A and B are shown apart, each in its own frame.
Chain A
Amino acid sequence: MNPLDRFKSVWNDPNDYARKRKQQTGRKILGYFCSYAPEELIHAAGLWPFRLLGTKGEIRMADTHLQSYCCSLVRGGLEAALNGSLDFLDGAVFPHTCDSIQRLSDIWRLNAGFAHHFDAVLPVRLDTPSARQYMIDVLNEFRQELADAFGTEISDDAVWQAIGDYNRIREKLSTLYELRSRAPGLFDPSTVHRIMTAAMVMERREFSEQITAFLEGVEPDAAGRSDTGRKRVVLSGGICTHPDIYELLARAGADVVWDDLCTGARYFEGRIAEDGTDPLAALADRYMERTVCPAKHQDITVRGRALVDMVRHQQAGGVIFLLLKFCDPHAFDYPYLKKFLDEAGIPSLLLEIEEQPPPEGQLMTRFETFVDMLA
């Protein structure tokens, strides 16, 4: 199977991939919901971090634990934990994240029945030395808990090694994004999205090999064939699990050239310094410096400025907000982000997503109308 087919098959059924690969490698798997989950420590412990993205199936069991006003990521994640589709997990780690995921952690711990459960309650503010110190302390505690739970030791050397592995993976993903931005026609519209999903769920050593091979196979575009003639847009929001959005947008006449999603560019944004003395401080510094998730606190206009800069840097014509219904942190930031875009003369479109995006016909009309407005 060539790398792209491998990524697509992983995207298609991550759980099936995990089950089979676990059987082959014997590697234990730890689930997580948030881009602040310290994957490098999980990787250093010899475990495999697996991003949980909700469920594509029906919600039945989660309804007895969660009200209707809870987002589909939390609801779908719990459903998958309760209905057995995550039976390959050895446990999960919750780095606090938001009001809903904080309660999901409790409900998960009390009901899901996995062997291990970790709460690494990271700071919410990421703008002070005391918060940085607290983050380092929490990372240290998590390292110890992981080591105790799995009967292993996680040495500084092992963490440095993991940091190196992750830096290499993040560089590759960054290259992938740069390639798409330069020549969107190099890939099918949803290819990068599928690869990003694979990056967060695949056993990392395998992913690293596959992405290297994939990038080596990308033909340089001397003839400029990959210029699609379409307009350029960026996506803004939390997660996106719908490849159709990329395909519909392309049909409507626009390519997604960048994003600030936590399942997108924020996953690889920020290199970890490899020349320090404390690897946990190095991990903490990436989190402190990376553009924040709206559930965290930093400079109160940084997300607005970063979004405008991204649009300009990417020479994009507009922004599509993908807001997960009932995601409070993103919904609170939306009016101010939109205001920043308006003031910079950048058009934007708000798309609210429940379990599924709006019906295709309706979505297509909205996309076409929006794309027509773009420069």
Chain B
Amino acid sequence: MAENEKKHDPEKEKRKIQAVSRMKEIMTDYYIEAKGAREKGRKVAWITSGGPVEPLIAMDVIPVYPENHGAMIGASKMGAQLCEQAEEMGYSRDLCSYARADIGDAVAKTGPIGGLPEPDMLVCCNNICGTVLKWYETAARFFNVPLFILDTPFIHREFTDSARKYVLAQIYEYISFLETHCGRKMDYERMEEVGRLSVEATQLWQSVLDTCAHKPAPMTAFDAFFHLALIVTLRGTQVTVDYYRQLLDELNDRIDRGIAMVPNEKYRLLWDNLPVWYRTRWLSDKFAGHDAALVADTYTSAWSGMLPEMNGQSFLEAMSETYTKVYINISIDRMFDIVAGMIQKYDVDGMVMHSNRSCKPYSLGQYDLRQMIMDRLGVPTLIIEADMVDERNFSESQIDTRIDAFMETLKS
């Protein structure tokens, strides 16, 4: 009875974001298209979440994202089971759970969509980690398909001229790779058009995230985790531009009508690292129970951080810098500058860091980042130890207690 009442709670209904259903439609269509690609004679490329998808779109190749699939597996609470499958194949339990779950599912095909559409080619950009390099090498051996690596040198201090030259050379190698494996030439006019749509979608995504600067925030990071899917997978398409325009209008309308995602928003928090996909609802309710809204995060904003500085360059030229400078391909001190900017922009009271066993480049360094945030900005910061997909690494009672204790400090 109580649950029934909850479902029809008009207050809760009012707070639901309507665009969600459109998003589900688009993603369903997209996966149906990808699954049926072979019959229609279209090529499928697996690509990393931080990789340049635009040339694929311009070449009419369907991009498929094993990481997005990993997130789906996590959200469906199938992570542990598929990870164990990979562990039986000899992959260490200490490896990234996206990679383990995806490798497990490639063999078992028991995941939420019964296995990803198999790739005709693989495109791996190491701007997010060295793990994707190893994961894609594994996939290249498993599926016996060509692999392209876009190597984006890590930026400890600055993006050097030699790195710029190297990445740009690879962008053209990437296009040659696609031309070889698609059996046709790149249409550079189409490429620039896709680039224009990508920039437009990225700007809209930034505007969507910016609505949370409003008090109270019309959505939270937990919503951003969901709405992120399109900017990752289908940047450079009209459908993505249209979708984010629709979402932005709805969020602005919520601001006008005073609809907040967290009913009595009193505390505004910044989230760091990937979501804990199998516990987003629990965490969302947990924070909302303390009248706290996660108004921004360093993860979903990584894709709006990809907005290129065009400076009269072509999209392809601008891409080399854009893709190299993403949030986790930079040093801790550069990360601090970005976090400090977000703390100010979204007027944040505290920070929650997910120390994610699966993601070393994101997580190692968090302790130092936390210290810098507390020392230089005086912003209280909580670290929770967990994992994005493997629920065996989540201790509910411990995290529950830590969040309560952290919120008590914020309130006092």
Contact = CB atoms under 8 A, between A and B. Distances in A.
Contacts of A346: none
Interface in B135-153: 135, 137-138, 140-141, 147, 149, 151, 153
A375 to B, nearest CB: 23
A128 interface: yes
Contacts of A338: 90
B360 A329 contact: no
Contact of A99 (B99, B156, B357, B364): B364
A67 interface: yes
A41 B337 CA distance: 34
B52 to A, nearest CB: 16
A336 B363 contact: no
Given A102-B361, A137-B162, A334 B333 contact: no
B141 A336 contact: yes
A65 B367 contact: yes
Given A137-B162, A328-B130, A332-B135, A103 B361 contact: yes
B184 to A, nearest CB: 23
Given A130-B166, A331-B92, A336-B138, 7 more contacts: A67-B385, A102-B154, A103-B365, A121-B153, A124-B130, A130-B169, A335-B90
Contact of B154 (A65, A96, A107): A96
A34 B277 CA distance: 35
Contact of A294 (B134, B140, B333, B357): B134
B294 interface: no
B126 A124 contact: yes
Interface in B93-133: 94-96, 99, 126, 129-131, 133
Given A69-B94, A69-B360, A106-B331, A125 B130 contact: no
Nearest to A338: B90
B133 A335 contact: no
A99 B331 contact: no
Given A121-B153, A301-B141, A138 B364 contact: no
Nearest to A110: B368
A328 B360 contact: yes
B368 A331 contact: no
A297 B90 CA distance: 21
Interface of A: 64-67, 69-70, 74, 94, 96, 98-100, 102-107, 109-111, 119, 121, 123-125, 128, 130-131, 133-134, 137-138, 141, 294-295, 297, 300-301, 323, 325-326, 328-329, 331-336, 338, 352
Contacts of B96: 328
A328 B331 contact: no
B94 A105 contact: no
Contact of B156 (A119, A137, A300, A328): A119
Contact of A332 (B134, B149, B165): B134
Best-buried of A96, A99, A102, A336 by chain B (most CB within 10 Å) = A99
B29 interface: no
A107 B154 CA distance: 15
B151 A105 contact: no
A67 B131 CA distance: 18
Contacts of A323: 92
Nearest to A337: B90
Given A70-B360, A336-B141, A124 B162 contact: no
B160 interface: yes
The 7 closest A-B pairs by CB, nearest first: A335-B90, A332-B134, A137-B162, A134-B166, A103-B364, A130-B169, A331-B92
B160 A106 contact: no
Contacts of B296: none
Given A66-B367, A99-B129, A332-B134, A131 B357 contact: no
A331 B99 CA distance: 12
9 contacts: A67-B364, A106-B332, A106-B365, A107-B365, A110-B368, A125-B149, A137-B162, A329-B130, A334-B91
A130 B357 CA distance: 34
Given A331-B94, A336-B141, A100 B153 contact: no
Contacts of A326: 94
Contacts of A301: 141
Contact of B364 (A70, A96, A130): A70
Given A69-B360, A102-B361, A138 B134 contact: no
B45 to A, nearest CB: 17
B151 A69 contact: no
Contact of A124 (B89, B99, B149): B149
Contacts of B284: none
A300 B141 contact: yes
B147 A300 contact: yes
Residue of A102, A105, A111, A131 contacting most chain B CB atoms (<10 Å): A102
Contacts of A69: 94, 357, 360, 363
B170 interface: yes
A337 to B, nearest CB: 9
A358 B138 CA distance: 29
Nearest to B138: A332
A141 B333 contact: no
Nearest to A299: B137
